[in-house]
Structure 1
Amino acid sequence: MRSHRVFIAGPASWNRMVVLDRLPEPVPHMQFAEDSWETVGGTSAGKALSLTALGRDVLLYAQSADDEDGRRVRSALADAGVPALWETSVETERHLNLMTRAGERVSLYLSSPSESHGAEDARIRQAMSDADALVLDLAAEPLRLLPMAAETGVPIWVDVHDYDGEAEFHRPFLAVADAVFCNADRLTDPVAFLQARVASGASLAVCTLGADGAVAVDADGLEHRVAAVPVDVQDTNGAGDAFLAGVLDARLAGRGVRESLEAGARSASTVLGTRHLHPLLDAVLS
């Protein structure tokens, strides 16, 4: 087991996945699903699973209710070997994800965690201080924790997903980030965005490009590109989380930017062949 610990805060959910031949049009109509299943979701759960599989010491902090779906999420992650600190919420986060084989997706939030009252703050502060890297994902509770995280001085990694360069909710995360990850879905000029993040103080900024791999800008402003690892794709959910996990694991091991991006691409490829967030869940949720 590697000695470096990663603290991850953010969503862990219970999801219903529905595969369609096309995303629904905004008119009344009927469609038949090609496939459907239930599974663990949440970007933080995905990162925790991938880092666990890589042998990294992880602590996931997330919220769930003491209900059937909450117990499913907690049990599945525990059985997959992910250590977690859970705060009890009124509701468990649940999504309905409509997807196509081409990787298109619409995620409908059926319920979200309630506001935290800080019951676990002392344990969270200690866990953050003991970590070598903090991953704070886009959600209300990690947003609340940003000042506490910044006070620790531990490097903060953020994943702003399909950020458009303007949304207000993302800005506090970007302001404290040592490493920034995103995808190119809504950015007109990904490299310019990455350069701007490094100019603002980030030591690494990375944008995933789907089948075209990823591009990064390092602390010196140098651009790096890496190709995607060829693989038969069953489901793209969790690929971005696995990519970040692979890069983070490699950076903690002292690897350079290029080698770390290659590790991220390999990590992402491992989740594309499963319909769960990670193959660790295949036996747990079979």
Structure 2
Amino acid sequence: MPTPSSVAVCGPASWNHLIVLDHLPEPVPHMQFARRSWQTIGGTSAGKALHLAGLGVNVRLCTPLGTDDDGQRVRGALTAAGVAVDSFSSEQTERHVNLMTEHGQRVSLYVATPSTPSEHDLSVATAAVAAADVAVVDLSELGALLLQRVDGSTPVWVDLHDYDGSSDFHEPFLRAATTVFMSDDSTKDPWELMRSCLARGPRLAVCTRGAQGAIALDASGNRYQIAAVPADVVDTNGAGDAFMAGFLASSLHGKTVQDSLKAAVMQARIAIGSEHLHPLLAEALPAP
């Protein structure tokens, strides 16, 4: 029996307070009543790790966490959900308050941010990347510092999120990647955005388009696309992370780009149907 593929995911995990409103607040003093609110795990790297674990992938998450109550909640729930966690020492755990609407609009308020990773932490993350079949390096201070150390022997997948094609911060992530993901939120021409990304080194670019589904472009110029699938939307947080995890897990099984797009949209459907990044958290998190 072949050895299961392993993935190292390096980047943020957080504790989030999610608040759903009728509309996002206007910049004037006023009062609103929340439709609903809850607390749960957040962070783009946590989301990817949870979905990879749910798909049976051997995944290790490298992320900064504090020894505070938030960090203990995050660490315990991720471990209970099947994610191996290398938690790096931080003065505080990353924490967000997300103001959202039922239509998917969102404002994320960063209440607490993690400490800069130590040299020891970076060495641990570098070793995790070297030992993995694929590394997911997310946009973060940890990711930026880690990319200065990796030697390129492990394929690097990067989620560029709402990349506009010109951000200096994204550039080292883009140039280190073999595969990149992004949304079309900041572009009018996603095909051109993907083409410009591939010109800097990656072999495959994938772009999510919300209700329009997703598209992909490889270095040979081949185009791929898939329609979105109907879903009962509970919470859109983490949909892109689930999409990327579904695509990656499918690729690790040798599937084609088109088949992996299909797996990705089905995995995103799982995320948006839950109040958590993954339904696994409903059981892994302690009762409020």
With the length of structure 1 as denominator, give the TM-score of the two structures.
0.97
Runs of 4 or more, structure 1, over 2 Å off, are 120-126
Q: Note if 1:79 corresponds to 2:80.
A: yes
Structure 1: any 5+ residue segments left out of the alignment? Answer: none
Deviation for aligned residue 1:165: 1.8
Q: Give 1:182's aligned residue.
A: 182
Percent same amino acid among aligned pairs? 50
Distance in 1 separating the partners of 2:128 and 2:95: 27
Structure 2: any 5+ residue segments left out of the alignment? Answer: none
Look up the SS of the partner of 1:120 in the other structure: helix
Paired AA for residue 240 in structure 1: G
Look up the SS of the partner of 2:123 in the other structure: helix
Distance in 1 separating the partners of 2:3 and 2:18: 34
Distance in 2 separating the partners of 1:15 and 1:190: 30
Q: Give 1:262's aligned residue.
A: 262
Q: Note if 1:3 corresponds to 2:23.
A: no
Deviation for aligned residue 1:2: 6.2
Q: Give 1:232's aligned residue.
A: 232
Q: Note if 1:30 corresponds to 2:31.
A: yes
Look up the SS of the partner of 1:264 in the other structure: helix
Q: Any residues of structure 2 matched to 1:106-185 within 5 Å, and which?
A: 106-149=107-150, 151-185=151-185
Q: Give 2:242's aligned residue.
A: 242
Distance in 2 separating the partners of 1:225 and 1:76: 35
What is the Cα-based RMSD across aligned positions, in Å?
Answer: 1.2
Paired AA for residue 177 in structure 1: A
Distance in 2 separating the partners of 1:80 and 1:183: 27
Contact kept, 8 Å, 2:139 with 2:170, in 1: the verdict is yes
**Alpha-carbon displacement from aligned partner over 1:100-157 (angstroms, at most 9, x marks no partner):** 00000000000110111222333322221111111010110111000222x0411110
Contact kept, 8 Å, 1:198 with 1:221, in 2: the verdict is no
Look up the SS of the partner of 1:119 in the other structure: helix
Contact kept, 8 Å, 2:66 with 2:89, in 1: the verdict is yes
Contact kept, 8 Å, 1:2 with 1:56, in 2: the verdict is no
Contact kept, 8 Å, 1:19 with 1:98, in 2: the verdict is yes
Structure 2 CA distance for partners of 1:2 and 1:99, relative to 1, 3 Å: farther
Contact kept, 8 Å, 2:165 with 2:196, in 1: the verdict is no
Q: Give 1:41's aligned residue.
A: 42
Q: Give 2:64's aligned residue.
A: 63
Look up the SS of the partner of 2:236 in the other structure: coil
Contact kept, 8 Å, 2:165 with 2:197, in 1: the verdict is no
Q: Note if 1:201 corresponds to 2:201.
A: yes
Contact kept, 8 Å, 2:10 with 2:125, in 1: the verdict is no
Paired AA for residue 74 in structure 2: V
Q: Give 1:52's aligned residue.
A: 53
Of residues 219-228 and 31-40 in structure 1, the stretch that sits farther from structure 2 once superposed is 219-228
Distance in 1 separating the partners of 2:276 and 2:92: 22
Distance in 1 separating the partners of 2:282 and 2:43: 16
Contact kept, 8 Å, 2:61 with 2:85, in 1: the verdict is yes
**Alpha-carbon displacement from aligned partner over 1:19-47 (angstroms, at most 9, x marks no partner):** 00000111111111110010000000000
Contact kept, 8 Å, 2:246 with 2:267, in 1: the verdict is yes
